[in-house]
A = this chain, B = another copy of it.
Amino acid sequence: MTLPENSENDAFDLQNFLPFLLNQAAEGSSLEFQRVYKDRYGMLRTEWRVLFHLGSYGEMTARDIGRRAKLHKTKISRAVHKLELRRYLKRSRDEKDRRVERLALTPAGQTVYNELRGIARDYDARLARKFTSGETALLRMMLRRLAGMD
């Protein structure tokens, strides 16, 4: 592992490249939470996201979730199907527009959501404690802006 000949390496540092760094941070900070929803609840990433959207915002359509979570409709379609099989959500046709399905958690889904929400809240608090509260607030603001959420 020697240094490259080509040393007009002017001012580029991979370890500080934001897209790389953001990915590393996202993966690193998701690992533990992933073990919870995956190993303990048998859910996929898209599945907990759908569950959390319905738990947080109440009844939504697949399209609503896709917009908010920036998830492709095929991913959502399959996640909804799995959550339905597990009886965590139910669908109902919108009678105004029969293309649309209104999605809502069942009581069982609500229960799972409540459990996971508690774990998520604790986990978030643990991550936040790595910094001062001002720093964490600034971090969230910056991430929202990078995500195009405002």
What residue in chain B is nearest A21 (Cβ atoms)? Answer: B143
A146 to B130, Cβ gap below 8 A?
A: yes
Q: A24 contacts B127, CB within 8 Å?
A: no
Whether A57 touches B3, Cβ cut-off 8 Å, given contacts A28-B147, A121-B12, A148-B28, is yes
- Whether A21 lies near B57 (C-beta < 8 A) is no
Would you give the 0/1 interface string for A121-150, flagging 1 where the beta carbon is closer than 8 Å to chain B? Answer: 101100110110001001110111111110
Residue of B nearest to A28 (CB): B147
- How many subunits of this chain does the assembly comprise? 2
Whether A70 touches B11, Cβ cut-off 8 Å, given contacts A29-B19, A142-B135, is no
A18 touches B140 (CB 8 A): yes
Q: How far is the CB of A129 from chain B (nearest CB, A)?
A: 11
Task: Select from chain B the residue with minimum beta-carbon distance to A52.
Answer: B14
Let me know if A131 and B142 touch, CB within 8 A: yes
Q: State the CA gap A33–B130 with chains docked (Å).
A: 30
Pull 10 A–B residue pairs with CB atoms less than 8 Å apart, ordered by A.
A1-B57, A1-B59, A2-B58, A4-B56, A4-B110, A13-B56, A19-B29, A23-B26, A28-B146, A135-B138
